[in-house]
């Protein structure tokens, strides 16, 4: 399915059908109830303990105000152009220090993973934020399934690079393909998900269809979109913005109001949709997820290892 900015997802996909054909065929265990015949309201009934109570942004805001440089640098470019991206068929190459390397079809990636709704805050390094009701599953589930070798210490991710379908990649704005990385313990943290949906529907193209990483305690650029490759490594993998400007964008890039970007303060953020004159809200350390992740960084000086 291609993203149509003129339609809401509920217009194009019956809600009860949001686990699309190929996901159903893949046999993803939907909230432990099995996929087929899922009542429309079932998803709403399940509260993840990791979800925020904050009001989610609208679908229009989430799909219309995006960073996805493969389609241009304007916030509206992804909504205009990401629909060109072929997202079916889709496969993810999983390799490096794993027991079962291979090219996994999307349905196979989802096999055995339980999808759930996670309503997360998303804090962009540019000092705006949103609240997004993702549908996804824990990355740890996939890594356990493919078997992580003992020597693995990091997980590297890569986005699709297909210039014919990605007008933004025809200029060297940033190095292509977009790459990112996490330390293995960050990747295994229960907050870290691979998202395949949003608002109970398939993931819209501007947000990284058909599968993207979401790491809610880090600046948004760590949450790499449209993932085609996952590699377990011994050494810290390259990360796009860190390569472009290591002084401004650290490998860790945990949300931290105490460490300013060299060119602006990170103490506050503007919630998208509040209007330009809306009061800024204070940025929380680890984007408010410290109770789950602060211990990952015990003994680290987060102002130096940012």
Ligand X SMILES: Nc1nc2c(c(=O)[nH]1)N[C@H]1C(S)=C(S)[C@@H](COP(=O)(O)O)O[C@H]1N2
Annotated binding-site members for Mo-molybdopterin: 69-70, 124, 159, 207, 212, 223-225
Size of the site for ligand X (CB under 6 A): 17
Binder of ligand X out of 28, 188, 211, 224 (CB under 6 A): 224
By CB under 6 A, residue 124 contacts ligand X: yes
Inter-residue contact 189 to 202 (CB < 8 Å): no
Six token digits for residue 93: 């190459």
Least separation in angstroms between CB 240 and ligand X:
8
Least separation in angstroms between CB 77 and ligand X:
10
Size of the site for Mo ion (CB under 5 A): 4
By CB under 5 A, residue 124 contacts Mo ion: yes
By CB under 6 A, residue 131 contacts ligand X: no
By CB under 5 A, residue 9 contacts Mo ion: no
| Residues flagged as binding site | 69-70, 124, 159, 207, 212, 223-225
From Mo ion, ligand X, none, which one binds at residue 287 (CB under 5 to 8 Å depending on kind)?
none
By CB under 6 A, residue 66 contacts ligand X: yes
What are the residues binding ligand X (CB under 6 A)? Answer: 66-70, 122, 124, 159, 178, 207-208, 220-221, 223-226
What are the residues binding Mo ion (CB under 5 A)? Answer: 67, 124, 220-221
């Amino acid at each position: 399915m291609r993203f149509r900015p003129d339609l809401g997802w509920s217009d194009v996909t019956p809600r009860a059908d949001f686990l699309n054909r190929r996901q159903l065929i893949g046999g993803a265990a939907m909230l432990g109830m099995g996929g087929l015949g899922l009542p429309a309201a079932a998803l709403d009934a399940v509260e993840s303990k990791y979800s925020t109570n904050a009001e989610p942004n609208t679908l229009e805001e989430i799909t219309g105000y995006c960073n996805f440089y493969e389609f241009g640098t304007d916030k509206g470019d992804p909504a205009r152009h990401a629909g060109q991206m072929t997202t079916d068929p889709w496969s993810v190459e999983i390799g490096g220090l794993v027991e079962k390397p291979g090219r996994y079809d999307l349905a196979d990636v989802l096999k055995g993973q339980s999808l759930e709704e996670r309503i997360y805050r998303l804090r962009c390094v540019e000092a705006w934020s949103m609240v997004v009701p993702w549908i996804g599953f824990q990355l740890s589930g996939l890594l356990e399934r493919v078997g992580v070798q003992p020597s693995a210490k990091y997980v590297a991710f890569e986005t699709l690079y297909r210039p014919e379908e990605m007008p933004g990649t025809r200029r060297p704005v940033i190095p292509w393909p977009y790459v990112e990385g996490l330390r293995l313990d960050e990747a295994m943290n229960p907050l870290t998900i691979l998202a395949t949906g949003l608002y109970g529907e398939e993931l819209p193209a501007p947000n990284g269809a058909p599968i993207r990483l979401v790491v809610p305690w880090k600046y948004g650029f760590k949450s790499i979109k449209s993932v085609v490759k996952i590699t377990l490594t011994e050494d810290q993998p390259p990360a796009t913005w860190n390569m472009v400007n290591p002084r401004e964008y650290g490998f860790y890039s945990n949300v931290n109001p105490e460490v300013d970007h060299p060119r602006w303060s990170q103490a506050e953020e503007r919630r998208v949709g509040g209007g330009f004159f809306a009061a800024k809200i204070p940025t929380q350390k680890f984007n408010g997820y410290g109770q789950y992740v602060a211990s990952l960084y015990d003994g680290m000086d987060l102002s130096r290892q940012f």
